Amino acid sequence: MARAWARELLGESSPVDFFLSPLRFVSSERTARSLSLTLSGEHCYGLAFGPEPPLNPTWTSCSIDQSSFGDHLGPLVANDQWDFFSIDTAGSSRQSSVEEVSDDDLIAEILTEHAPLSRVWPGNKEIVNWYGVRDHQGRWASIGALVRWESGRHVIVSVVTVSAQRGQGLAQLLLSGMVAEARRRNIRWLGLGVAHDNLAAQRTYERTGFVARANFTNYALA
């Protein structure tokens, strides 16, 4: 029912399909134009969409799309903003331009030096594959991971381009290839998240065909 409500209000590309794990689902509420979900986990987590989403007082953290609540939501305090993008791989005609990367030590070395705040690292159980593109000398220049969340949906994470190789379109080449790989694997929808102020990355995603689906403000207990 929650998935059906989300598709009715937000469309087939609803972010809810990416975040709604049956194992963590607790409850959902809706109004004519808004929807809220409560998920379990380490903390009681809320996810809300629409102009006046129902709020659950048990939330200890939440993400509100297009929030109008300002810096405070009851006892919760806003701490950052991030955007969620997705793409329908069925609409992509690109050919794969990526190779699988299997050297976990090398991946960790690249992440440590060029993207130490990456969310997913080698060894994460959700990883389907690491992919990369090489520079003209055959060295890995840009890498990223395809992961399958517990919701069953797939996302691209930990995308990084070696610092000296940035500005050459390698991240877009990587993403295009990963979309093609997803299509080859019969993965219809791909998602990814990015900090709201990372405009350069957002432009790359949009050029690749990803569409912004939500602008979340995160709230948590201070």
pLDDT in tens, 115-136: 999 999 999 999 999 999 999 9
Nearest Cα residue to 121 out of 106, 99, 136, 140 = 106
Predicted confidence at residue 41, as pLDDT, reads 83
Predicted confidence at residue 87, as pLDDT, reads 96
pTM, 2 dp: 0.92
Distance (Å, whole) CA 24 – CA 27: 10
Domain(s) of CATH 3.40.630.30: residues in the chain: 88-212
Nearest Cα residue to 134 out of 112, 110, 156 = 110
What class does CATH assign to 88-212?
A: alpha beta
Residue 79 tokens read as 């701490």
Strands 140-148 and 154-161, how do they pair?
Answer: antiparallel
State which residues of the chain have pLDDT below 50: none
Query: 3-state SS string over 131-161?
Result: EEEECCCCCEEEEEEEEECCCCCEEEEEEEE
